Structure 1
Amino acid sequence: MDAKTISLTQAQTYLATLAVPLKAGEEIVIVQDNTPLAKLVAPTQPLAKIRTFGKYKGKIKMSDDFDAPLPDEFWLGVAKTNDVTA
């Protein structure tokens, strides 16, 4: 697909109207002195939703020992005596 080429001045003046060809799947190349500066394309997937700070406040619980050091058995891979091995 050939991209539509417009000047930087045109892009600044008509930015809002560029949405129509973008929605139709066209690509638009912005040039200055015949040198490409940018290429506008429509997103291929929906943009991520904005995260809301504090949305889950009071809904997540952590144990008091959440940041306590893990036992050596965890790091060394030592099996507990009540573990069943095949």
Structure 2
Amino acid sequence: MKTVSLREAQARLDELAQDVAQGETVTVTRDGKPVFDLVPHQDKPKRRIDFEAGQAYLRTKGISDPVSYIADDFDDPLPEDFLIQPLPAR
């Protein structure tokens, strides 16, 4: 890990960026105290639906065929207190 002052970081940003691109972390300081770190970029993992986990959960609830499953109360009327609630503010 490399430590540089803010003034030095401004003057050598291109060089520091190359170091960071190679995996090194650079701590930038002001008056000898750490202010921020330059770290290599990490792609966030894409969130995906885990269908296998969903099917496993439904099986624990006794639902063997989740594709054709419709809840017994699917078409029951909604409770009145639900219907009279105001819409959430945007």
Task: Give the TM-score normalised by structure 2.
Answer: 0.47
Task: Give the TM-score normalised by structure 1.
Answer: 0.49
